[in-house]
Amino acid sequence: MPWDKQFDIDVALDKAKEVFWTHGYEATSMEMLLKAMGINRGSFYDTFKSKRDVLIRSLRRYDTDNRASAIRAAAAGYPPREAITAVFRSMIDGSRGPLGRLGCFLVNSALEVAPQDEEVSLIVREGLRDVERFFADLVRAGQEQGQIPKHIDPTDMGRTLMSQLVGLMVLLRSQAPKTTLESVVNQVSRLLT
């Protein structure tokens, strides 16, 4: 009779994500992971290959379930130009929540792990490209509606806005003053004129 898992893999990955997000990959010990995930070492190795495997699976889950949905939800219901600044404001507002001071798990992983791990680097690049495309699509829609000038190249602006968002996430992680965070949103607004 095959052995049944006594835990929900998705729940365990979400708990692991919070540990990595809070402490970083290197500072997260196996004991910390096992405790947070609520599983024993045998179950861990029966399900996951390694600590790195858990990081990669957690990061992929975060990118699709958290990062992608968060920016789309923040922009929903706004005209394109306002949707862009709404994404930035939403990130600032979200920084007041329990995980907000931690910045973005994807950006944190880009800084800590991606330089040494090609698979993590690929996940980060895919996520950031999605953010670029998202913003470029909003710029195009804004141009069609006459909210954003036609001289702005949507692809270039998508990259610029993605870079500004990454910078904002780093500032949030470093607990920059609200005036600094607001200046990023103001600059984004000026870029679209």
pLDDT recorded at residue 107: 93
Give whole-number Cα distances, 135 to 59, 88, 149, 175, 181, in Å: 22, 11, 15, 25, 19
User: Where in the chain are the domains?
Assistant: 57-191
CA atoms within 13 A on the CB side of 182: 3
Average pLDDT over residues 4-19: 87
pLDDT (tens digit per residue) in 15-68:
999 999 999 999 999 999 999 999 999 999 999 989 999 999 999 999 988 888
Position 100 pLDDT exceeds 80:
no
Does the pTM surpass 0.95? The reply is: no
Q: What stretches of 76-153 show up as alpha helix (H) in DSSP? A: 80-94, 105-112, 118-144
Which is more confidently placed, 118 or 68?
118
Domain 57-191, CATH among 1.10.357.10, 3.40.50.300, 3.40.50.970, 3.60.20.10: 1.10.357.10
pLDDT (tens digit per residue) in 65-78:
888 889 999 999 99
